[in-house]
Amino acid sequence: MSFRLPPRVALVLGGGGLKGFAHIGVLRAFRERGVKPAVVAGSSIGALLAAAYAGGMSVEEMELRATSLRKHDLFRLDHLHMVTKRMLSPSLYLAGPLEHLVDEIVPRGTFADLPMPLLVNCVDLERAAQTVWGLPGLQDVRVAEAVYASCALPGFFPPRVVGGRTCADGGVIDNLPVVPASYGVDGVIAVDVGSTNMATARRIQDKGFAAIFMRAAQTMMRTMQLGSLGRWSGPPLFLIRPEVWQFNWFSFAHTRRLIEAGYVAAHAALDSMGDCLMGPGGVFPKRTVEVSIDRDACIGCRTCAIMAPGMIAMDETGKAVVTRATAEWSRADGDFVHQCPTKAIKVMALEGDSRRATMEWRTQPDEDFVASD
């Protein structure tokens, strides 16, 4: 199927732990279909792979390195500092393995030395502000230093001083940095692998502080991302969401499946894209959905009516009712459905005469956050 792209398109690769291996499949599909972004941007593992791409690394080499990576190559406990510094230890894991991985993958030199524009999203911890390395005025630092910082999840890896700023994982402030990437381009393609589809995490209180921290961080990332997309006023944006929600953030056991999921999702996205990136704006793809409420399950908490007053109201019995049953939604819409404490709101995607439950609001399996082989 055909698609058309405007002259300058930015490709944004989101964070999501090792789920980000799906980006490799996306890049492979784009190469096959002749998609050549003018700008690449990323957070966390998205920044790592965006930098590799900007430096000219082949998809085959990315895939070889990803499939050969093992837990001990990345996660090594910092026993010394945990014993000697205790609560003042900067992180659970040593910086060395992550530094080595970054140095092997990203191009040498500064952002100004790269053959194409690259944006690496970080958070400046001291200023509590977003820092996007690669923007004008923020190019005279080593790419490897910025990428390490963007991957350094607070508490897991120590932060890094980059250009005089103490920086850490960009996902803390913007897991899918579409806004900085949108400046000066005609369209944006963003690949979300980490924060929008959230599986149920039962017994989270029994899985340790690392799992609790990661769950809180993912919730924060998801909320900020949906807010950013919901307020989108830039050029047309196409959101690709590979089906990787069921995989562990830190599992090394499913690399090939993750890459394949990104490959399939990218081809499907291009097949359905058509001319949507040639228009004036909006978030795509859009679909017609039908919203309904299970009145037996509704407890009348009003959360849905507060969040979506144009679609939900409360009736005289104190139950929620739908005032507009169908709508045209992008994947940035409908967060109020997820917020229902009793899962009383149902969403069906309308496809011709058929209806199907949408992936975003299905009941999903438990998710874990412990690094595993």
Distances in whole angstroms, Cα of residue 64 to Cα of each of 4, 17, 138, 260, 335: 31, 18, 32, 14, 37
50-83: b or e for each residue (b if 16 or more CB lie within 10 Å)?
Answer: bbbbbbebebeebbebbeeeeeeebbeebeebee
- Separation of alpha carbons 6 and 16, rounded Å: 28
Active-site annotation holder among 78, 124, 150, 169 = 169
Nearest to 23 by CA among 125, 105, 141, 130: 105
Query: Residues for the chain: how many in total?
Result: 373
Given the structure tokens 């085959």, which residue do they identify? 60
DSSP string, 305-317: HHH-TTTEEE-TT
- Asked if 244 and 22 touch (Cβ cutoff 8 Å), the reply is yes
Contact 56, 80 (CB under 8 A): no
Q: Is 169 a catalytic residue?
A: yes
Q: Is 192 annotated in the active site?
A: no
Question: Distance of CA 137 to CAs 134, 184, 348, 373, Å?
Answer: 8, 16, 47, 41
Q: What Å distances lie between residue 208 and 5, 41, 81, 89, 372, CA to CA?
A: 46, 33, 20, 18, 15
Cα angle 192, 198, 204; round to 5: 135
Instruction: Write down the residue that tokens 């957070």 correspond to.
Output: 43
Which residues have CB under 8 Å from 88's CB, separation 6+?
none
List Cα–Cα distances, 26 to 85, 201, 239, 336, 360, in angstroms. 42, 28, 12, 30, 20
Give the Cβ contact number of residue 87 at 10 Å.
5
Residues assigned a catalytic role: 44, 169
